[in-house]
Structure 1
Amino acid sequence: MKMPEDANQRNPLGRFINAVSATLDAPVVWFRERIVEPNRQSYPWYHQKFRRVPTIDECYTDDYVCQMEANLQFKRDRLVDNDILHILRLRFEDCVLYEGPESKEKCKGLYDEYQKAAENWFIKYGDLGAYGGARDAYMKQKHRMIWERRHGPVGSGMKETAPEA
């Protein structure tokens, strides 16, 4: 005995469930195929482009939406900078492995580029911790600028203060 292609067609309850399902599902499928998908921009999820938003110093103190957007933008920028630093580190390590004993001379350019990027990363994101946001980075930048105005570049030591008469 040969089984029919769709076993539910013999069962009245199965036919009823299929009919109700098709009645409820058909308008949804029609709307998605005819309205939603033709009007949707298609782009790969890994190339999603976010518009730049105002930074935290451009937001008013009571504009919480602007502050949240600035914080999300800051976190996206930190992820990008982390990945750039990671790629530079991997390039330097690959160069050292490939060049062997001559790596000090041949990989010096990569090492200098990595060190400069790491220094810039630390200037912007260092000591903020895992939960540091745009406001914390802005305060860190402000305090660094005040320090440099009073004492010179960070790492050069403090200026000698003139003895008071």
Structure 2
Amino acid sequence: MPEARSPMEAFANSVLGMIDGPITWFKESIVEPNQQKYPWYHEKFRRVPTIDQCYTDDAVCRFEADQQFRRDRMVDNEVLNVLRQRFEDCVLYESPDHMVKCRPVLDDLEKAQENWFIKYGDLGAYANAKSCYMKQKHRLIWERRHGPVGTGMKTSEEEHH
């Protein structure tokens, strides 16, 4: 530390040293050795029970399931964004014959979009885990009765044959 230019500066440095010294010691010798080191973008949240594993009167479990649902939806949105960006980069790089060379990237993007829409489509911005679970249940019931979605409804004559 440079030498103080005045008695007041020397006094201020000594007072700050008395205050800062123990705080710095505590941080360097106790806090930092016990901290888990990881980049913020690799934080791992524990998986919580899904909405179908929660009791109907367990508000905390339902809240945690909703938060997990929102995190999963954000991750799925980012996956779509990355795939979309890869396709756009491929089109820019491979033009003019990009439809041949970028076909695998486009196929991956379209499959991911289809899967995203199957899970989250038509739920709206304020969807929660329960509404998503009900959508999944209704889709499974539909497919059991009528076959894959998009193939049309079976008529009663087709069901008997």
TM-score normalised by length of structure 2: 0.82
Q: Pairwise mapping of residues 116-127 of structure 1 onto structure 2 (< 5 A)? A: 116-127=111-122
Q: Deviations over 1:40-72 (max 9, x none)?
A: 111111111112221111111122222222211
User: 1:161 aligned to 2:159?
Assistant: no
Q: Which has the larger radius of gyration?
A: 1
Distance in 2 (alpha carbons) for counterparts of 1:110 and 1:49: 28
Between 1:111-120 and 1:153-162, the stretch displaced more is: 153-162
* Aligned mate of 2:103, from 92, 97, 108: 108
Q: Which runs of 5+ in 2 are unaligned?
A: none
Distance in 2 (alpha carbons) for counterparts of 1:106 and 1:22: 65
User: 1:92 aligned to 2:91?
Assistant: no
Distance in 1 (alpha carbons) for counterparts of 2:108 and 2:13: 66
Is the partner of 1:101 in helix, strand or coil?
Answer: coil
Aligned length: 156
Q: Pairwise mapping of residues 60-79 of structure 1 onto structure 2 (< 5 A)? A: 60-79=55-74
Distance in 2 (alpha carbons) for counterparts of 1:145 and 1:106: 36
CA change 1:86–1:22 in 2 (3 A) is: same
TM-score normalised by length of structure 1: 0.81
Partner residue, 1:49 = 44
CA RMSD of aligned residues (A): 2.5
Q: Deviations over 1:53-93 (max 9, x none)?
A: 21111111122222222211111111111111111111112
Q: Pairwise mapping of residues 135-154 of structure 1 onto structure 2 (< 5 A)? A: 135-154=130-149
* Aligned mate of 2:34, from 36, 39, 47: 39
Q: For residue 36 of structure 1, what is the amino acid of its counterpart?
A: V
- State the 1:26 CA deviation: 4.7
CA change 1:24–1:156 in 2 (3 A) is: same
User: 1:59 aligned to 2:58?
Assistant: no
Partner residue, 2:4 = 5
